[in-house]
A and B are shown apart, each in its own frame.
Chain A
Amino acid sequence: MTTHPNHSPENHSSLPFILFELAGTTYGLHSQVVQQMEMVQQITPVPNAANFVEGVVFSRGQVIPAINLRVRFGWEKVPYDVRTRLIVINVNHRTVGLITDSAREFISIPQDVILPPPEAISGLSGKYLAGIAMLGERLILILNAEEIINLTTDTSLIVHSS
Chain B
Amino acid sequence: MDNFFANFLDDYFAECDEHIINIRDNLLAIEAQINQPQIEHSFLDKLFVSFHSIKGLSGMVGLKEAEELAHEMESYLRLLREKKVILTAPGIDALINGTTILEQVITAYRTQSPLPDLGSIMSQLTNAFAEKLPEPTNLGNNTKTGNNQAVNSSATQISSITLKIQEQAELKSALEQGETAWQFEFLPGQEKADRGINVNTVRERLQVIGKLIHASPKVRQNGEVSFNFVVTTNVPETSFAGWDADGLTYSPYLVTGSEEKSVTKSEEKPEQLASLSPVSSPTPISPLINTTGSTPSNVVRVDLTKLDELMRMVGELVTTRAKFAENLKNIKNKLNATELRALRETNLALERQLRDLREGVMRVRLVPIGEIFTRMQFIIRDLAKESQKQISLQFEGQNTEIDKFVVERMLDPMMHMVRNAVSHGLELPNERISCGKSPEGKISLRAATVGEMVVIEIADDGRGVDVEAVMNQAKKQGLIDSFAQNQTVDSNTILDLMCSPCFSTREQADLISGRGVGMAVVKNTVNELGGFITLDSQRGKGTTLRIQLPLTLAIADALIISVKDQTFAIPQSAVREVLQVPESAIAILENNELIPYRHQVLPLIRLSTVFNLNNSHQFSTNSEIKINQKSSHTQLPAAQSTLKLIVVGNGVNAVAIGVDQILGQQEIVVRPLTDPLVQVIGIAGATELGDGRVVLIIDTLALNRIANSTVKIKNYSEKTA
A28 CB–B CB distance under 8 Å: no
- CB closest chain-B residue, reference A46: B678
B676 CB–A CB distance under 8 Å: yes
Which residues does chain A contribute within 8 Å of B682, judged by CB atoms?
47-48
- B608 CB to closest chain A CB, in angstroms? 10
Which residues does chain A contribute within 8 Å of B693, judged by CB atoms?
42, 44, 58
B2 CB–A CB distance under 8 Å: no
Which residues does chain B contribute within 8 Å of A149, judged by CB atoms?
677
A88 CB–B CB distance under 8 Å: no
A35 CB–B CB distance under 8 Å: no
**Docked complex: B641-699 residues within 8 A CB-CB of A:** 671, 673, 675-678, 680-683, 686-688, 692-696
Distance of A137 Cα from B516 Cα, bound (Å): 55
B680–A58 contact, CB under 8 A? no
A74 CB–B CB distance under 8 Å: no
A49–B678 contact, CB under 8 A? yes
B612 CB–A CB distance under 8 Å: yes
A49–B680 contact, CB under 8 A? yes
Produce 1/0 per residue, A140-154, CB < 8 A to B: 000000000101000
The contact of B720 among A53, A58, A155, by CB within 8 Å, is A155
- B314 CB to closest chain A CB, in angstroms? 14
Which residues does chain A contribute within 8 Å of B566, judged by CB atoms?
44-45
- A98 CB to closest chain B CB, in angstroms? 11
The contact of A56 among B676, B692, B694, by CB within 8 Å, is B694
B612–A58 contact, CB under 8 A? no
* Number of A residues with CB within 8 Å of any CB on chain B: 27
The contact of B612 among A44, A48, A53, A67, by CB within 8 Å, is A48
Assuming the A-B contacts A155-B717, A158-B721, are A44 and B686 also in contact, with contact meaning beta carbons closer than 8 angstroms in the complex?
Answer: yes
Which residues does chain B contribute within 8 Å of A155, judged by CB atoms?
716-717, 720-721
- A122 CB to closest chain B CB, in angstroms? 22
The contact of A44 among B611, B675, B696, by CB within 8 Å, is B696
Distance of A48 Cα from B716 Cα, bound (Å): 11
The contact of A41 among B675, B680, B686, B692, by CB within 8 Å, is B692
Distance of A40 Cα from B694 Cα, bound (Å): 13
A94 CB–B CB distance under 8 Å: yes
The contact of B613 among A41, A44, A47, A49, by CB within 8 Å, is A47
Distance of A65 Cα from B612 Cα, bound (Å): 19
Assuming the A-B contacts A45-B566, A48-B611, A48-B682, are A58 and B677 also in contact, with contact meaning beta carbons closer than 8 angstroms in the complex?
Answer: no
- CB closest chain-A residue, reference B608: A47
A96 CB–B CB distance under 8 Å: yes
- CB closest chain-A residue, reference B687: A63
Assuming the A-B contacts A63-B673, A96-B675, A159-B720, are A47 and B692 also in contact, with contact meaning beta carbons closer than 8 angstroms in the complex?
Answer: no
Distance of A112 Cα from B597 Cα, bound (Å): 72
Which residues does chain B contribute within 8 Å of A159, judged by CB atoms?
720-721
A58–B688 contact, CB under 8 A? yes
- B663 CB to closest chain A CB, in angstroms? 15
B694–A65 contact, CB under 8 A? no
A2 CB–B CB distance under 8 Å: no
Which residues does chain B contribute within 8 Å of A44, judged by CB atoms?
566, 686, 693-696
- Residues of chain B having any CB pair with chain A under 8 Å: 566, 610-613, 671, 673, 675-678, 680-683, 686-688, 692-696, 716-717, 720-721
**9 pairs of A and B residues whose beta carbons are closest in the complex:** A47-B611, A44-B694, A65-B677, A63-B686, A65-B678, A48-B680, A63-B671, A42-B693, A46-B678
> Would you give 12 A-B contacts (Cβ < 8 Å), ordered by A?
A42-B694, A44-B696, A46-B680, A47-B610, A47-B696, A48-B682, A53-B677, A56-B686, A58-B692, A62-B671, A64-B675, A65-B675
